[in-house]
Amino acid sequence: MIRAVISLLILLTALPAGAEVTVRIFARTKPVTVVFTPRQGEYRLDPGGPGGLTVGPGETVAVTRYDDEVIFRTLSGISGVSDTLRFTPLSADALFTMRAPARAEAVKTLNGSLMISSYPGSLLVLNITELEDYLPGVVRAEAGRAGPPEYFKAQAVVARTYAYRTIDRHELDGFDLCDDTHCQVYPGIIGESVIINACRSTAGKVITDRQGVLIEAAFHGNCGGVTASSEDVWVAKHPYLVSITDPWCGYSASATWVKKVSLTDWYDFLRSGGVMPGEERALYSPAGSKPVRIMNRAVAGKNINSEEVRVRFGLRSALFTMRPEGDSLTFSGRGYGHGVGLCQDGARAMAEKNMSYEKITGFYYPGTVVTDVKIVRRPLRP
């Protein structure tokens, strides 16, 4: 089925350049009350009828869902009811913060404009901003705060490629991208200049395959010395998501790990796959053997999938050996994450050796090029 879907991707659409994006804010916790506070500059609050007002720093607007409408109330006591509230900045450098007081959400600083309406069970909080303004926050959330400039440039083109490729994912929901892991985590506007500069200096640059189509820009923390092919992990096959040997990431603390689980839990897991205790011995590795990324291990006529083992036991990667010791099973592994595509620890090391971001992305996505988004094509999602 997935293979059939992939073959449909040969249908292609042209991309808009300099895109504006509509991002759903607080998509994971879906609050019913949010608080808008201008941080810099003034905003026009338009409730979609009479009663618009100007809101500046020092003022605050609380917005609460009320059936299929929203109620707003300012700190100074002005209130109203509306279908859709619009906050429009009155200057180009305007910034505001959004809070969701009853939810475990960090305060977000945002730019652009804001639209708030009622949604089944929650508010729909939409931030309309430029894609290039959205990227630095995404890069910080996905790539961390430490690393040389070329590392962040590599992550910037990866995040931009990912965003353009998935920009119609929420078409039926009435926005472009959500701010959670489903799309890419967006914490809002950030201040780290190394990341902001990495995004600016690669503005509009994306990664494509040989046909000029945006790639599936997968990445992970640490590959443990060898990356995984997408075909092994997700079934979907791409010529640039193949297993490669990575000499760059072994320095990292994530490069090796050990985890013990109880034999009782392990046997429960095997039984759920139809393997009886005692039949699994072929899975165990001799002492001192190196971890290998074998996705499917055949035992007693059944199939043990390493990715399923990784998820079930919370392992850092699917690159491991296993040995029973007493009443526990010891996994000894390498790497962190699914192992497909760009290895972040390796990319950081390459950047420290003064390699360019194009060299880094070309190494982890073999056969791809960095090019301008204006001349690339996007796979049409079926």
Q: Is 358 in the site for Zn ion (CB under 5 A)?
A: no
- Is the CB of residue 110 less than 8 Å from the CB of residue 95? yes
Distance CA 10, CA 321 (A): 39
With residue 14 as reference, give the H or E element that holds it: strand 12-14
Segment 101 to 120, residues that bind Zn ion, using CB under 5 A: none
Q: Please, which residues have CB within 8 angstroms of residue 290's CB and are 6 or more apart in sequence?
A: 321
Q: List Cα–Cα distances, 298 to 147, 266, 282, 295, 318, in angstroms.
A: 41, 16, 9, 10, 16
- Is the CB of residue 292 less than 8 Å from the CB of residue 330? no
- Is the CB of residue 137 less than 8 Å from the CB of residue 152? no
Would you give the DSSP letter of residue 75? T
- Is the CB of residue 12 less than 8 Å from the CB of residue 377? yes
Part of the chain binding Zn ion (CB under 5 A), chosen from 66-74, 123-131, 249-257, 322-330:
249-257
Token pair, residue 313, equals: 């036991």
Among 103, 182, 297, 302, binds Zn ion (CB under 5 A): 182
Q: Phi then psi for 364, rounded to 5 degrees?
A: -85, -25
Q: Could you tell me which residues are beta bridge partners of residue 378?
A: 13
Part of the chain binding Zn ion (CB under 5 A), chosen from 52-60, 239-247, 251-259, 270-278:
239-247
Smallest distance from the beta carbon of 347 to Zn ion, in angstroms?
8
Q: Is 343 in the site for Zn ion (CB under 5 A)?
A: yes
Q: Is 346 in the site for Zn ion (CB under 5 A)?
A: yes
Smallest distance from the beta carbon of 215 to Zn ion, in angstroms?
18
Smallest distance from the beta carbon of 345 to Zn ion, in angstroms?
6
Nearer to Zn ion, 43 or 240 (CB): 240
Q: Is 218 in the site for Zn ion (CB under 5 A)?
A: no
With residue 170 as reference, give the H or E element that holds it: none
Part of the chain binding Zn ion (CB under 5 A), chosen from 54-62, 142-150, 195-203, 241-249:
241-249
Nearer to Zn ion, 246 or 358 (CB): 246
Nearer to Zn ion, 138 or 223 (CB): 223
- Is the CB of residue 247 less than 8 Å from the CB of residue 313? no
Nearer to Zn ion, 66 or 251 (CB): 251
Smallest distance from the beta carbon of 139 to Zn ion, in angstroms?
17
Query: Exposure pattern of 329-347 as b/e (b: 16+ CB <10 Å)?
Result: bbbbbbbbbbbbbbbbbbb
Smallest distance from the beta carbon of 326 to Zn ion, in angstroms?
32
Q: Is 28 in the site for Zn ion (CB under 5 A)?
A: no
Give the total of residues touching Zn ion (CB under 5 A).
8
Q: Three-state DSSP class for 351?
A: helix
Nearer to Zn ion, 246 or 280 (CB): 246
- Is the CB of residue 187 less than 8 Å from the CB of residue 109? no
Part of the chain binding Zn ion (CB under 5 A), chosen from 48-56, 181-189, 208-216, 361-369:
181-189
Q: Is 223 in the site for Zn ion (CB under 5 A)?
A: yes
Part of the chain binding Zn ion (CB under 5 A), chosen from 101-109, 302-310, 340-348, 349-357:
340-348
Among 45, 178, 206, 241, binds Zn ion (CB under 5 A): 178
Token pair, residue 289, equals: 């053997």
Q: Is 183 in the site for Zn ion (CB under 5 A)?
A: yes
Nearer to Zn ion, 117 or 344 (CB): 344
The residues that touch Zn ion, with contacts defined as CB under 5 A, are 178, 182-183, 223, 246, 249, 343, 346
